[in-house]
Amino acid sequence: MAGAAAQRHRAVPAEEWLQKWAAGKTGFHQEHGHPLLKKYLDVLLNGRNGLRIFFPLCGKAVEMKWLADLGHRVVGAEISEQALREFFSEQGLPYREEPVPGIPGAKVLQSTSGNISLYCCSIYDLSSAVVGKFDGVWDRGALVAVNPCDRERYASLMISLMEKNSSYLLVTVLYDPNKHKGPPFYVPESEITSLFGSQCEIKCLEKVDAFSDRHRDWGLDYFLEVLYILKFDLSRLQANRLTSSEQIGRVGSSCRGGFIIEWEIGAAVLELQAGLMPLAQ
């Protein structure tokens, strides 16, 4: 079977995730945090302080504490209550819990200092009416953990949670999907473009060889992590009005260096719009 088609019908029920947590099968958890967030934090923050940052499918990601310690407000969503309790206890943070109005059975676990709020429910139960909108997103082990049949629903929800001038760091994985059933699921760049491309500027920041014994045990012989920045900003909305420019931009939206062309074209389009650049014949 070719590429992503091999995993199209695979679906992991919520119960299976809860069992993974109960059995301690959480090899995805990174005790020391993710090196790509450390490296590209400035790209996410873009010089801004006191942001609201969302961690979809957060598990017990230690990066939530990093960002809170830097003065940002962190919101997470996770179905496993065990994961959230482990987060607070391992990070030594006291917390309280409350029901979430409008979502039966859901709770929010909030650090007593008030800057970390973790919703214990399915991400699909959330909306901007409940959690508000965000200036930044760290999506690692989230889009790639979502069942392939739910990706569009997930992407539209995420788009609805983004503030106008916001940034979304997205980590995907590339490997031979015929050799491992996932999760994490294989998500090629074409899929990122089709899920998010009409709403934001997409730029590939880095492709990293992340192959380890764990991946060898899955039967793989390569495993890459790919980091993208999705920029939801006003200039993109302006550029969107020029359909031809968008088509040209799409052609250049490749991870292999093409994104530079796309961004240059984007800038030229804005200059054209502003009447700063004469049209070439």
Q: How far apart are CA 159 and CA 220, in angstroms?
A: 33
**Least CB distance to ligand SAH at residue 83 (A):** 5
Would you say 58 and 64 are in contact if contact means Cβ atoms under 8 Å apart? yes
| Residue 140 beta carbon to ligand SAH: minimum distance, rounded to whole angstroms | 4
CB of 73 to ligand SAH, least distance (A): 18
Nearer to ligand SAH, 116 or 145 (CB): 145
Helix (H) or strand (E) holding 39: helix 35-45
* Shorter beta-carbon distance to ligand SAH: residue 161 or 239: 161
Burial class (CB in 10 A: 0-12, 13-18, 19+), 144: buried
Tracing tokens 């109005």 back to the chain, one arrives at 101
CA angle 152, 60, 212 (to 5 degrees): 80
- C-beta of residue 238 within 8 angstroms of C-beta of residue 270: yes
Enumerate binding residues for ligand SAH (CB under 6 A).
17, 28-29, 57-59, 61, 77-80, 83, 122-124, 140-142, 145
Residue with smaller CB distance to ligand SAH, 121 or 255: 121
Q: Which residues are registered as beta bridge partners of 138?
A: 169
Give the contacts of 181 (CB within 8 A, at least 6 positions apart): 7, 10
63/191 with CB nearer ligand SAH: 63
Within its chain, how far is the Cα of 11 from the centroid? 19
Closest to 183 in 3D by CA, of 33, 3, 56, 17: 17
Q: Least distance to ligand SAH from the beta carbon of 135, Å? A: 19
Contact between 170 and 230 under an 8 Å Cβ cutoff? The reply is yes
* Sign of the CA dihedral with 22 first, then 27, 28, and 31 last: positive
Tell me whether residue 29 or residue 203 sits nearer to ligand SAH (CB atom): 29
CB of 150 to ligand SAH, least distance (A): 8
273: Cβ–Cβ under 8 A, 6 or more apart, which residues?
Answer: 238, 239, 242
Least distance CB 151 / ligand SAH (angstroms): 12
Q: Which is nearer to ligand SAH, 28 or 263 (CB)?
A: 28
The residue (of 29 and 151) whose beta carbon lies closer to ligand SAH is 29
Output the smallest distance, CB 122 to ligand SAH, in A: 4
Residue 188 C-beta: closest distance to ligand SAH, Å: 20
Q: Which of residues 8 and 29 has its CB atom nearest to ligand SAH in the complex?
A: 29
Residue with tokens 């793989």: 220
